Amino acid sequence: MLYRNFGKPIFFRLDPEQAHHLVIGGLHKASRMPGGTALLKSLYGIKESPELAVDLFGLHFPSPVGLAAGLDKNAEAAAGFSSIGFGFMEVGTVTPKSQPGNEQPRLFRLPPDEALINRMGFNNKGADEMAKKLGGLKKRPIPIAVNIGKNKTTPNEEAYNDYKKCIQALYPEADFFVVNISSPNTPDLRNLQHGSELAVLLRQVVDEMRSQGEKYGASKAVLVKIAPDVTDEELEYMVDTISKSGVSGIIATNTTVSREGLRHPHAKETGGLSGKPLQERSTEIVRRVYRQTGGSLPIIGSGGIFNSEDAYRKIRAGASLVEIYTALIYEGPEINRKLYSGLKECMLRDGFKHISEAVGADHR
């Protein structure tokens, strides 16, 4: 109510990227003030319930609902986001070297469609700067995943070196990693999802993760984030390659280049579309991945979640965890409490005692 009545009207009068920076800066400052994180928790935090807590990848997730990558690109507001009811969060996408991203304007709201279009282009301050930010966190109340990518100027045949450099720089600080090969805003990046390039890339990533695990005496999970804009045959090959690679799981899905059914004039803008229009397609990808793998490869469902029923459908389709992004922009931080309480109602309605029992229920 506070965000909808006061925050949103102000933010939506601003340029979207300006509003984005205000949120990141505000959460960063709030978390550094004495009692700041405690205040955020009192306003927006959740009280953990055993029925909804998830243990996965050797980590404890107090809620199955996390924050998707793209909002906190440099881990500047991780402490703040960790205090407003998320069960985990992704930071990034980060690349080995800092880069400015694409030219502005590059972020667009589509209010009638409850969607966003972005063509940010992996704008970030680089892996070393993120390592400093994460290393400076005093507490880690929720798992933090680092979403890694390649620099724009790195050719695809050398892309694996960029992913390895990110892992090397950030392994001590990340709780787990996400390999981003599915953003539509870096030229040719999505080609890494197909053919032999995917197998080569993942082999290098898994080898580097194993090497760093031995170095630091702690193995960590690495997941792959896939695009929704693939044919059935492409998806089947992709999932088969990912399953054989030894990675820990899949995030389904990234943003889409589809513009089907959009009403707002910004539909003509290039970039990745997120929000409600992605809801059905991302859930279908979750369902297909779960069916193909027999539930053996954990899935994080992402795309178009605005309420607890949206989240629950992805869980029943096969997601062990889910993520939001665009809904946070439109609904504000109050959404986490709504999702949390609503998921518990959905679970109990179907006779489940723990949320894990609902994972993949549509397939049984």
Q: Which residues does the annotation mark as catalytic? A: 183
Q: Which amino acid is at 342?
A: G
CA 146 to chain CA mean position, Å? 9
Strand partners, 107: 118
Which residues does 225 contact at the CB level (< 8 Å), separation at least 6?
Answer: 69, 147, 178, 179, 180, 181, 182, 250, 251, 252, 253, 254
The whole-angstrom separation of Cα 22 and Cα 28 is 10
The whole-angstrom separation of Cα 264 and Cα 111 is 7
The whole-angstrom separation of Cα 327 and Cα 308 is 12
Cα distances (Å, whole numbers) of residue 221 to 70, 87, 269:
20, 17, 35
- Residue 11 corresponds to which tokens in the numbers above? 């933010």
The whole-angstrom separation of Cα 334 and Cα 312 is 18
- Residue 350 corresponds to which tokens in the numbers above? 């179907």
If we measure between CA atoms, which residue out of 189, 261, 268 comes closest to residue 226? Answer: 189
Q: Are 358 and 347 in contact (CB under 8 A)?
A: yes
The whole-angstrom separation of Cα 85 and Cα 252 is 22
The whole-angstrom separation of Cα 304 and Cα 306 is 6
- Scan for tokens 């990745």, then name that residue: 272
